[in-house]
A and B are shown apart, each in its own frame.
Chain A
């Protein structure tokens, strides 16, 4: 079955540690995205990528980094510079820009 796989589902880290969230898709989509969701709020865009080896900052990129070395993979690193990293992180992909997004089932990150 085609889809987006995010792992792990739950992640716990100590403050000051970097952590990498995995996102893999087998939909052959060109565009991939990372969103952050906080309780009672909408999704906010962290980074997006339209093609391999290229990505752009979204609205809240500070404290995050990404890479796009393969079409299928778009990992997100939450660095120690991110002041409030505890959140639900969602990865998504789309065929082209402006088309509907396909989402993974998210990673819930807790930093203490």
Chain B
């Protein structure tokens, strides 16, 4: 399977702390995307990082990509209770592919 795998499966932190989630995948990718899902809702796209990029920032989000290790990390700084959600990585395995392979997600709980 080319599915990404997130680690940890669940993470609980205090408000104000940083949260780091990791994603590992198995084959070469065109890009890697991170999504957020609030309970019972659809996914929301957070950030896309291309295979030739190593780091990207968006507000309190920082994503890194290490293609040699086939891994990515998502860092949420200064977490808030509203960040409580599940976070998924999705790998796009080749240009023109019409299929993103989603991982099983990390469930983040931010305690006020």
- Give me the interface of A with B, judged by CB distance under 8 Å: 4, 6, 31, 33, 35, 40-45, 48, 50, 56, 58-59, 90, 92, 97-98, 100-106, 108
Contact = CB atoms under 8 A, between A and B. Distances in A.
Contacts, number: 60
B95 A98 contact: yes
A98 B41 contact: no
Question: Which 3 interchain pairs have the tightest Cβ spacing?
Answer: A103-B42, A42-B102, A100-B45
Contact of B99 (A40, A48, A108): A48
Nearest to B104: A42
Contacts of A4: 42
Nearest to A4: B42
B48 A41 contact: no
A98 B105 contact: no
A57 to B, nearest CB: 11
Most chain A CB inside 10 Å of its own CB: which residue of B3, B33, B99, B101? B99
Contacts of B112: none
B43 interface: yes
